[in-house]
Amino acid sequence: MDLGLTGKKALVCASSKGLGKGCAAALAAEGVELVLNARGAEALEATAAELRALGVAVTAVAADITTEAGQAKVLEAAGPVDILVTNAGGPPPGLWKDWGREDFIKALDANMLAPIALMTALLPGMCDRGWGRVVNITSQSVKAPIPQLGLSNSARTGLTGYVAGTSRQVAEFGVTINNLLPGIHATDRAVSLDGGVVAKEGITMEEARARREATIPARRYGTAEEFGKACAFLCSVHAGFIVGQNILLDGGGTNFTI
């Protein structure tokens, strides 16, 4: 299927590795010019070089997208874009009694306020041009909260509420906003979460992963490649009637009828 994206330009956040890189790679394969962002310059440049080999222009901007200074740097380098993919690492796991105001502010900055700031900056141009796509990478936790990820539950659910209203205000201008909700994928985040189980319970990483996979109907972790292709479809010309949706990519791990 031709996604109709050749010649479009995308800003993909946190895209040096993991799910962000999967999205960037899928868009590059469709002929999309890329502006990549991540905090680590070395890994970012390596990914940029890899994607340039696919024949598309790639601009790499090393900056912390969760800060106002980082957002300003990235937006200046990006200029007008047709596609925005927001993404940022999730807050650390823990217990409710250990979290204070500063913990929540940090989570909100990364997983709610940064995506909102980027949308506020880029949506007007998309609306003026009559076409645009925004995909926010959030989490399955907005559908079914994960107890030890309370900071993420809170911040990402706030973003979901914002998207629910905003997406319906910009749809008439040919702009769609949707959220992708990953379950566990074979990324550094999975290694971190499984590592926490290893440290707590004294088991091996293989045992921790096998235990988690047993809770997923697909009996495996997702891949960044398949996640990226789902993102690319939501960015495509064929997805203009998908508005304000929260789409799970979790191997069936979240139990919901609707």
Average pLDDT, stretch 45-58? 97
DSSP secondary structure code for residue 110 in this structure: I
Q: With 90 as the cut, is the pLDDT of residue 256 above it? A: no
Would you call 32 helix, strand, or coil by DSSP?
A: coil
Its pTM stands at: 0.94
Q: What does the pLDDT read at residue 118?
A: 98
Q: With 90 as the cut, is the pLDDT of residue 165 above it? A: yes
Vertex 33, ends 165 and 18: CA angle to 5°? 70
Q: How far is CA 151 from the centre of its chain?
A: 17
Q: What does the pLDDT read at residue 89?
A: 86
Digit-coded pLDDT (tens) for 80-117? 999 999 999 888 889 999 999 999 999 999 999 999 99
Q: With 90 as the cut, is the pLDDT of residue 196 above it? A: no
Measured CA to CA in angstroms, residue 73 lies from 56, 70, 78, 214 at distances of: 22, 5, 9, 43
Nearest by Cα to 235 from 34, 58, 17: 34
Q: What does the pLDDT read at residue 41?
A: 97
Q: Which of the residue ranges 124-128, 134-138, 143-147 would you say has the lowest mean pLDDT? A: 143-147
- The 3-state secondary structure of 144-186 reads CCCHHHHHHHHHHHHHHHHHHHHHHHHHHHCEEEEEEEECCEC
Q: What does the pLDDT read at residue 257?
A: 85
- Nearest-angstrom CA–CA distance, 184 and 167: 26
